[in-house]
Amino acid sequence: MSNQTLEELRAKIDIVNKEILDAVNKRQSYIAEIGNVKSKQGVHRYDPIRERDMLNKLIAVNEGPLTNQELEHTFKEIFKVGLEKQEQSKQKELLVSRKRQPENTIVQINDVEIGNGKPAFVFGPCAVESLEQTAAVATKIKSKGLQLMRGGAFKPRTSPYDFQGLGVEGLEILDTVRKQSGLGVISEIVSPVDVEIACENIDVIQIGARNMQNFELLKAVGKTNKPVLLKRGLAATIDEFIHAAEYILAQGNPNVILCERGIRTYEKATRNTLDLSAVPILKQETHLPVMVDVTHSTGRKDIMLPCAKAALAVGADGVMAEVHPDPAVALSDSAQQMNFEEFDAFWSELESFSQK
């Protein structure tokens, strides 16, 4: 074969390549239109039956030299690109998406800004047990110059016989303590019927791990303007976590803080497995602030400090941990709560680390 003939064939290949490119791009424009129609209809975008039908039609008219197996492989890759482009488009549509809002959301809790680049810290008892116990923790927190406190009024537990929290009475105790101390208070509710009273008594509504996909509760808090701390579910994927936050924003409330609190795996050395990789992923994929709960994720006081440091190192906007005046007599999670002496040591080192 002469060089001239080789160059002529290569030129023909270049022309065919351009025709293929034009056809694939044209196909992609149709895919985008179909995606828009399906989105408006609320239809799932991926249709495996339709994909199989398209492949069968191509096989029926295939005259070679591609084998049917080679044809399927080639077109599946083309189909895959179309699906990936649709998924990228879908992500851009989400209200939580960094692609939709490049700048960080900053959630204001009294005088504290969460997500402004300066780490925030939240401490407090696992459960509100009494006014005296809660006030003692508040006094300790305030003595450190801190401004935020957590405390559980409603405690969803694995066993129905375990302490379930004081409920509304617990919220009222938190209201008393926040008025006395000036601290911003975070507490969990478990039912949409408690949203109104929560808004009256606390500064931030927490949606706990077991309620991350309680969609009616998510929609209910989304209809308020109260800041919401949304914890990741026990076995939730990052995508499921992001879409749970989307439920809240879709109702009009942009004041959402995400909280990584560990996920359930086969590992028994810790209470849960702290997924620190979720922090930078959530920061990249969304514009929402991200905190890390080092108590519920580890369940171990001996490793909470290095985990807290690691959380800040990977970009977390804040850290949460539990403190109790006397953990030995705590009504829930006694083994994982710090006493005041342990809290002193924990905060001294964490504060120094956070200022480096």
User: For the chain, which domains are there?
Assistant: 1-93 (1.20.59.10), 107-355 (3.20.20.70)
Q: What is the pLDDT of residue 191?
A: 96
pLDDT for residue 45 is more than 80: no
Closest CA to 172 of 191, 145, 154: 154
Query: Residue 16 is encoded by which pair of tokens?
Result: 């065919």
Nearest-5° angle of CA 343, CA 312, CA 122?
A: 45
The pLDDT, as a whole number, for residue 161 is 83
The pLDDT tens digits of the residues spanning 58-103 come to 999 999 899 999 999 999 998 888 887 777 666 567 999 999 999 9
pLDDT of 182 over the 80 cut:
yes
Q: How confident is the model at residue 189 (pLDDT cuts 50, 70, 90)?
A: very high
Question: Tokens representing 93?
Answer: 């549509």
Q: Reply yes or no on whether the pLDDT at 1 is more than 60.
A: no
Q: What's the distance, Cα to Cα, between the start and end of the chain in Å?
A: 70
Residue 5 clears pLDDT 60, i.e. is over it:
yes
Enter the pTM of the model: 0.79
- pLDDT mean across residues, the chain: 93
pLDDT tens figures, 112-166: 999 999 999 999 999 999 999 999 999 999 999 999 999 999 988 888 888 888 9
Mean pLDDT of 235-257: 97
